[in-house]
Amino acid sequence: MNTAFLGLGAIGRPMAARLAAAGHTLVVWNRTRERAEQFARDTGASVAASPAEAARNADVVFTCFSTSRDVQSVLDGSDGLLAGFARGAVLVDCTSGDPATSKTIADALAARGVGFLDAPVSGGVSGAEKGTLTVMVGGDAAVLQAVRPAIEAFAGKIVHCGPVGAGDAVKAVNQAFLAIHLLAAAEGLVTLVKQGVDPKVALDVINASSGRSNSSMNLIPERVLTRAFPRTFRLALLEKDIGIAAELARQSRVPSPVTQLTADVFRIARGELGEAADHVEIVKMVEAWGGAEVK
């Protein structure tokens, strides 16, 4: 397929590399142009001067920006996606976005005969590199069917979740689980360290028991006990995600004290740890509060 990829960040870059490796024609655009040029040198993709130019000959355009608002910001004007799209093309937005903005984007595209899918991903940078991401899709099933061969370049699992916005909603709730599990694990393990328990012993028990989670099974052993804290997924983005989940719960009139409180804690952490910190670094904040390290 003729594809374009906009947004070569931590996860966008390896996703786009999978598209090139799968043999799709690929044009890339990135706000910071040097990243697109480096990508083109590495993969043989071509670089577009603007979103409009990237969309011009594309059957499918992928976006992977920080927020849905960022996607909205590249739609209009002579350089914008809408100026380049042909009728019948499809925008697949892999941003972990918010359903309301995705619906607004979908309406603007539909008026020009362009399809839209919200298609956030899960599985991290390593899943993107291996092509095993889970992709949760909102939008028309026939549109998904048409672009599925391109999505398969980076997906291990593709799930149609419902109409536009459903993919974003599922992603936000998944991220709320991640944030809640990570914070709970940090609080519990700092407590156990102060009780004199070796955290490796504690995790040996918990990971064979009902309290286990991806945080206890993978993130904490690989990133906290080792003190490696690699920067693969920014805490600022997880704060954005749980903020979307908290807002959806409020709009749905679902009492959700755990989600709302965790969203607040992540907002504090974003302020304390900054925009570049990785999500797992929230453990450092809990360690500082509690006065003990999980190691």
Positions in 179-218 near ligand NDP (CB under 6 A): none
Site membership for ligand NDP, residue 64 (CB under 6 A): yes
Contact code string over 31-50 relative to ligand NDP, x by CB under 6 A:
xx--x---------------
Reduced to 3 states, what is the DSSP secondary structure of residue 270?
Answer: helix
Nearest to 112 by CA among 78, 144, 93, 86: 86
| 21-41 residues labelled b (16+ CB within 10 A) or e (exposed) | ebebebbbbbeeeebbeebbe
**Binding span for ligand NDP by CB under 6 A among 25-33, 38-46, 202-210, 214-222:** 25-33
Residue of closest CB approach to ligand NDP = 9
Pick between residue 192 and residue 223 the one whose CB is nearest to ligand NDP. 223
Among 3, 5, 12, 245, binds ligand NDP (CB under 6 A): 12
Among 47, 52, 125, 189, binds ligand NDP (CB under 6 A): 125
**Binding span for ligand NDP by CB under 6 A among 60-68, 137-145, 158-166, 283-291:** 60-68
Pick between residue 75 and residue 285 the one whose CB is nearest to ligand NDP. 75
CA distances from 8 to 38, 179, 243 (A): 10, 25, 24
Q: Which of 171, 194, 284, 295 is catalytic?
A: 171
Other CB atoms within a 10 A radius of the CB of residue 293 amount to 16
Site membership for ligand NDP, residue 10 (CB under 6 A): yes
Q: Is 130 one of the annotated active-site residues of the chain?
A: no
**Tokens 């064979």 — which residue?**
208
Alpha helices in the chain (DSSP H): 12-21, 33-43, 51-55, 68-72, 81-84, 99-110, 124-130, 141-151, 166-194, 199-206, 214, 235-251, 257-273, 282-290
Site membership for ligand NDP, residue 172 (CB under 6 A): no
HSE, side-chain direction, 13 A CA sphere, residue 183? 22
Length of the chain equals: 295
Pick between residue 170 and residue 206 the one whose CB is nearest to ligand NDP. 170
Among 46, 50, 57, 66, binds ligand NDP (CB under 6 A): 66
| Shortest reach from residue 144's CB to ligand NDP, in Å | 19
Which positions touch ligand NDP (CB under 6 A)? Answer: 7-12, 30-32, 35, 64-66, 70, 73-74, 95-96, 121-122, 124-125, 232-234, 237, 241
